[in-house]
Chains A and B, each alone.
Chain A
Amino acid sequence: MTDLCYEYWWASYYGLTDLKKCRMFEAFGNAKEIYLADAKAYEGLGFLSKEQISSIQTSKQERWIEKKTEEMIAKGISLTTLAMEDYPKRLRCIPDAPYGLFYVGDLSLTEKPCIGMVGARRASAYGRTMSEHFAMNLAAKDYVIVSGMARGIDGASHRGALKANGKSIAVLGGGVEFCYPKENREIYEALKENGLVISQYCPGTMPIARFFPARNRIISGLSDVIMVMEAKEKSGSLITVDFALEQGRDIYAMPGRITDTMSLGCNLLIRQGAGILQSPDLFLEDYVPRSADSYMEEIERVPKHTITSSRKTDKIDKISTVEMENSDNIKNFSLEKEESLVYSCFDFYARSIQDVADETGLDLLKLISIVMRLCELGLLKESFKNQYIRCK
């Protein structure tokens, strides 16, 4: 058996928690040593039960492991483990790092400044549009967007990053050869080519819902900060926040209207001290990219730090407000009076034509021709039947 086979064996062994796997790795030095060690050596560690030891022993099926490793290579999937040099440094520093990571794509992306974006699967048009907007702007500035490729916010974030020709990492809750959900096939293909698809689960693992929390811990582990784009009061995204806090990552949340249940979780996070996401530029003001190596140095000193870090939220950024005013002027310049009236009625939350007709009191034919023109100019788009949102 080659070294890779041993590594594959230990990475794809799920009979122990990640924490115990890491401790065994620390005790023995690498997977080969673990494999070659006998039951006595295991007992000597003191934290393994009899059942666990016998289960490890029965998993040592040489022919089968070799076959599986070959299959993995044939599928174009690579493996990195704690024993290897290229294992993502940020992840190496979290308390229960997965022993092995299976991936397709460019693993070196994990060493760049990474930003995790999470949020509801059933997101509103507002959440999706803004996620795409943030991801696009940040990816254009060479930040790597990390997300889970799920529906809703995750998908929108990846899509935004790809639109800007930026880099993005998808952390999956199953084998990396499975595209889940199917709707995001284009993202999946694009990331395999021009990004990174990564998972702690060995090839052949079907994506199951109970794997997803563990997946979330990798998203936060790979990232410098976590952005919560949209979350209900009891949202799965808040699990990611808990992991992120444990791992000492900064949390940012995008505010929503206080009456909006879809943003309740985000607003609560802000209340608890999370950073507020007002615009990509303002975020970058606060955010100091950290090199992956700095985590390695820190781990020796302070293992944990809390959510509060210096932030300049009270500072009004002159440049960006000026920019905003300018862009507003440009918009209004080309619009006629009624057009800008109608445009001002629309929002990043979807509104129906009926609502706007009631508010403006315009004749239906007139209103619709204005809406159509605004769509043509790319200022509005139809988000659902007869409902429109702003694009800009």
Chain B
Amino acid sequence: MYKAVMSTNLSGIESSMVRVEADISEGMPMFELVGYLSSEVREAKDRVRGALRNSGYVLPIKRITVNLSPANVKKNGSGFDLAIAIAVLAANGEIHPKSLEDRMFIGELGLNGEVHPVTGILPMVLAARDAGIHQVILPYENYQEGLLVPDMIIHPARNLSQVIAFLNEQTPLEIPEEAGSETMHGITHDFAYINGQQFLRKACEIAVSGMHNFLMIGPPGAGKSMVAKCIPSILPPMSLEEQLEVSKIYSVCGLFGENPSLIRQRPFRAPHHTISSNGLAGGGSIPHPGEISLAHRGVLFLDELPEFRRETIEILRQPLEDKVIHVSRVNGDFTFPANFMLVSAMNPCPCGYFASADAGRCRCTKPQIDRYLGRISQPLLDRMDICVSVEKVQYNDIVKTGGNESSADIRKRVVAAQEIQKKRFAKEPYRFNSEIPARDIPRFCPLGEQETAFMKQQFEHLGLTARTYHKVIRVARTIADLEGMEQIGIEHLMLASTYKSMDKKYWEVELQ
């Protein structure tokens, strides 16, 4: 007899529907599993056999064939176990075929029949919704995560017997208790605790408002990392659409933890500089999203930028432009979203005091500095919209208490500036000033006569490239938005051009 149930296959961060077909026929007794399977799916055969036996069902001594269709897509993961077991039982006439309609099965089986949780529930349930299926049976522990998708009926299963009873007799399934009130991740870092550094604070505000990439250069102890840690506190809230996008990635990586809920805060990822290229970009034989995808719609903070391996940071160049990363492996090409804001910090030389107020302490030689800077390419530096040099904090500022603007106040301005951008780009595929393509710059960032003259002079005097020229205008657009101004003024351009990207020329002049 032939029966089929629906399940789903996760590939990258997207999920696609899979029909699990079972056929029981006369012939040599055997249990065969086909359909382009990876080894963990092939092992499902033994788990299913054990789970069925220990749940009180014995496989018929017949020829059992299970096919996972479409057969040309590689199947990964352990989430097919439940669907295979149900399909075999249905083919054997143990389950009422009617009860399989409009339902999808996800779950890994233990030999004792227990249903174990799997990762990637969110994209899987989303795929079910897109395929028009309304009910999903999934592991008990994944219940909360499944509920994240609106308009879906989620059935949590603890073990195989429960599922069979539910399907045949409508025995209600045990629903986990509603998890206690959502614990907000306490934000301990607040701009209110940052004294002085007005110039740097302003840069952060602008960077976040327009999602501009941001580089801080300065001596050790100037507060670069501290400021970076405060950035999450001024990030604007995410829309529901964005929350789902981000949550999907976290679901696939199994980073939801005990208490799954949609990721509501913009992610802030700060990988250590020993990270490998695969860790940053995503990789593995079955590619997993890397840090740049985990920072999607949020912030990727790279502290001590030149300490990263050169080939690792050079990977950033393409995702910074395309906002996605393509990972090609034997098992296929995967595309992960990577629309993040890059925040990075570095010292001007190995000891960190070069060209600072303590320049006298710097003993680095030219070759040492060249080597240090050589780890970051100029094209990468060019991709930083905003670059600011940070000076050490003055004594008066260290001892000062209070009187600083808090993150909440800054956040209000950021949100307002992003509202303006949302309205402006309502008809465009992009959302932020930092993403305005060069061809649209004249439309969204018109310059007056005086402003054009200023930019012309800047272009000639500072030797700007076309790319940096556009970046200055984009940043000026954000500054004007923060001020609530329709028209970009000359002072906005001036501030933007003081924040313009870093150039190795600075070091050359200093070392001449």
Contact = CB atoms under 8 A, between A and B. Distances in A.
Contacts of B388: 385-386
A386 B512 contact: no
Nearest to A259: B360
Nearest to A154: B512
B451 to A, nearest CB: 12
A152 interface: yes
B508 A183 contact: yes
A387 B355 contact: yes
A211 interface: no
A86 interface: no
Contacts, number: 86
Interface string A118-140: 00001011001000000000000
Given A183-B508, A353-B199, A364-B198, A385 B387 contact: yes
A108 interface: no
A316 B14 CA distance: 83
A181 B370 CA distance: 14
Given A261-B360, A385-B389, A357 B217 contact: no
Interface in A355-375: 355, 357-358, 364-366, 368-369, 371-372
A220 B510 CA distance: 26
Interface of B is mostly: helix
Interface in A258-273: 260-262
Nearest to A376: B457
B512 A385 contact: no
B196 A385 contact: no
Interface stretch (B103-111, B112-120, B491-499): B491-499
A372 B462 CA distance: 12
Interface string B365-390: 01000000000000000000001111
B512 A384 contact: no
Interface string B384-421: 00011111001001000000000000000000000000
Contact of B200 (A128, A181, A354): A354
Contacts of B394: 355, 358
B484 to A, nearest CB: 14
A24 interface: no
Interface string A131-159: 00000000000000000000110011000
Nearest to A125: B510
Nearest to B390: A354
Nearest to B507: A384
B127 interface: no
Nearest to B202: A364
A259 B251 CA distance: 58
Contacts of B199: 352-354, 357, 364, 386
A123 to B, nearest CB: 9
Interface string B482-512: 0000000011101101100010001011111
A371 B359 CA distance: 23
B491 A355 contact: no
Given A151-B366, A350-B355, A357-B199, A183 B511 contact: yes
A122 B364 CA distance: 9
Contacts of B498: 353, 368, 371-372, 386
Nearest to A159: B512
27 contacts: A122-B362, A124-B359, A128-B512, A151-B366, A151-B511, A152-B512, A155-B512, A183-B508, A350-B355, A353-B498, A354-B200, A354-B390, A355-B391, A358-B196, A358-B198, A364-B198, A365-B495, A368-B494, A368-B498, A369-B491, A372-B498, A383-B509, A384-B355, A384-B510, A385-B389, A386-B199, A386-B498
Pick the 6 closest A-B CB pairs, nearest first.
A261-B360, A385-B389, A386-B389, A384-B355, A354-B199, A352-B391
